[in-house]
Amino acid sequence: MIEQKQQEIIEEFAFFEEWMHKYEHIIELGKEMKGLTDDEKKDDLLVAGCQSKVWLKASLQSNGTIHFEADSDAIITRGLVALVIGVFNEETPDEILKANIHFMNDIGLVSNLSQTRSNGLAAMVKQILLYATVFQAQQKSN
Amino acid sequence: MNNDTLQHKMRELRNQFPTLNQTVYGRPLVYLDNAATTQKPQRVIDSVTEYYTKWNANIHRGAHFLANASTEKFEATRSALAEMLHANFREEIIFTQGSTDSVNMLSTILENEVEEGDEIWVTEMEHHANFVPWQVLAEKKKAVFRYIPMTPSGEWDMDYAKRELGSKAKIVAFNYVSNALGTINPVQELIALAKSAGAYVVIDGAQAVAHFDINVQALNCDFFLFSAHKMYGPTGLGVLWGKKELLEKLPPYRYGGEMIRKVSVTGTTFNELPFKYEAGTPNIEAVIAFNESISFCKEVGRADMHKHELHLLKLATEELRKIEGATIYADLENKVGVLSFNVEGIHSADIGTLLDQQGVAVRTGHHCTQPLWEKLGTTGSVRASFACYNTVEDVELFIAALNKSVNMLR
């Protein structure tokens, strides 16, 4: 469940008192994420509006949930991307579209998500919602 | 002035800049994004406040005390600029919204001068603002858009220019100083070349005016433009200097109030210079406050500023060389205080994020010069740029924060 996953992240980050430890953890998440192969990093998967490159791939699975895979050429962005897709992964389009995404603010990484053009998170969340909208329409027409 | 005296003089200056005296994320602010915009001295800030407190009135038209007072102050800045640039006539100074606006104005008013098959030249080093408007003009007029390549060392390929730039060239537009690298370009040489080809010469001086004195007559260019905010002045204000005979000949850019002489239903005649190019109510408070920036630069002395900034650049460059895998772009003698670099295997955005967390403000990315980075085989850099108020301690804090960032990211 999306809300539960957000709470887990918030609790995890509450543990870090120093900014360094917070970022070390994000960098670690970035390193651990499976990511995409070089062949998969196609330009049509690029999320527009990020200073570093972000690739986002989504597929609708037979059980009605969406599977996201992503990558970035910057390691901190990669870690943030891992957090974001971790929250949305294996959820249905309906759940994703009605979710209130607040964890980025709560863990003190961004004070205003919509204005953080530099790390591209706002653009990435927007892209995820776009995928969910398209998949929701597909489900309804089937 | 010896180095210690110079350091002392610049340290005193720092007190005039209130924005520098603060902490971000609980750390002292180290502001090294001066090529993007400089901070403003108190006298500039006070001037804006004073304008709205005492002098606010629309200029040039009102027949009352305040209108006359604000007009006088507004025009005093024009005179100060004419003196600063060594212009022949004060009406050669046109106020615009910034460097980008100045280039867009020029690329519009020069439109009728360009014919099919003519060549419009820029360099591979240009900021997009002095690249795209010319590219678009060339497309529109079926002219040939050409550029002087940049060498891997971050300099113009003047051999190429000498070989290729000839009588077909109609406009040659280039920056005095590279915003991404800090290279001071051999503009005299290129002006001579462009002039002998019979082309209009446009100089983007945005990154030059805060670091050394400019003499437009000695340069013998046709147009010289820059932004106030990169010279310790207010944002939203630019300057375009142009030779009087050209500005008189060329058509207006925007139409509206102020720039007209007489309007009737059968036709309109336009006002004389400089008003012909200043349609609408201008950014009055910025123009008035900019006079304080001009005085500030004059009083401190650009030669001392540049010398001090180069001292900081040298210190930072020496420390950066010790970092394994660091690449410094345009590691040249003839520069302003810009340090543009990458560390192998690390994205510039990651370094920028971690420096920011430590209170150090730099710029990362392509700095609006994508063709330049394509030539250098990458997509951008970390850019630390120094101004007169930066200190040796700023360099030390920056290097310490950089080492910490690199260690975390490796």
**pLDDT single digits (tens) A42-96:** 999 998 766 788 999 999 999 999 999 999 999 998 998 999 999 999 999 999 9
Q: Quote the percentage of chain B above a pLDDT of 90.
A: 93
What is the spatial distance between Cα B187 and Cα B155, in angstroms, rounded to a whole number?
Answer: 11
What is the spatial distance between Cα B333 and Cα B330, in angstroms, rounded to a whole number?
Answer: 9
- Of all residues in chain B, the one with the smallest CA distance to A24 is B408
For tokens 């850099």, the residue is B381
Model confidence at A116: pLDDT above 90: no
| pLDDT at residue B157 in the model | 98
Model confidence at A119: pLDDT above 90: no
Q: Is the CB of A51 less than 8 angstroms away from the CB of B349?
A: yes
pLDDT < 50: residue spans in chain B: none
| pLDDT at residue A136 in the model | 96
Chain B contact for A46, CB < 8 A? no
Q: Alpha-carbon Rg of chain B, whole angstroms?
A: 22
- Cα angle B13-B180-B408, degrees, rounded to a multiple of 5: 85
What is the spatial distance between Cα A51 and Cα A63, in angstroms, rounded to a whole number?
Answer: 35
Q: Chain B contacts of A51, Cβ < 8 Å?
A: 349, 364-365
Cα atoms in the 13 Å half-sphere on the side-chain side of A14: 8
CB B187 within 8 A of CB B208: no
**Catalytic member of B221, B297, B368, B388:** B368
Average pLDDT of the residues of chain B = 96
Q: Is the CB of A77 less than 8 angstroms away from the CB of B349?
A: yes
**Catalytic member of A50, A80, A104, A123:** A50
Q: Chain A contacts of B25, Cβ < 8 Å?
A: 19
| pLDDT at residue A114 in the model | 43
- Of all residues in chain A, the one with the smallest CA distance to B359 is A19
The model's pLDDT over B212-237, given as tens digits with 9 standing for 90+, comes to 999 999 999 999 999 999 999 999 99
- Of all residues in chain B, the one with the smallest CA distance to A118 is B349
Model confidence at A112: pLDDT above 50: no
| pLDDT at residue A142 in the model | 76
Q: Is the CB of A24 less than 8 angstroms away from the CB of B364?
A: no
Q: Among A24, A51, A77, select the one facing B365 at the smallest CB separation.
A: A51
| pLDDT at residue B107 in the model | 98
What is the spatial distance between Cα A74 and Cα A89, in angstroms, rounded to a whole number?
Answer: 21
CB B193 within 8 A of CB B166: no
Q: Give the mutation candidate from A16, A17, A22, A23 for the B interface (greatest B CB count, under 10 A).
A: A23
Q: Any catalytic annotation for residue A95?
A: no
For β-strands B267-270 and B260-264, DSSP reports them as antiparallel
| pLDDT at residue B274 in the model | 95
Q: Is the CB of B357 less than 8 angstroms away from the CB of A118?
A: no
| pLDDT at residue B131 in the model | 98
Q: Is the CB of A76 less than 8 angstroms away from the CB of B349?
A: yes
For tokens 């100083």, the residue is B177
Q: Chain A contacts of B349, Cβ < 8 Å?
A: 51-52, 74, 76-77, 118-119
Helix (H) or strand (E) holding A121: helix A121-141
> Which tokens in the block code for residue B355?
């420096």
The model's pLDDT over B251-285, given as tens digits with 9 standing for 90+, comes to 999 998 878 888 888 888 888 999 999 999 999 99
Q: Chain A contacts of B357, Cβ < 8 Å?
A: 19-20, 23
Tell me which residues of chain A, numbers 61 to 120, contact chain B at a CB-CB cutoff of 8 Å. Answer: 73-77, 118-119
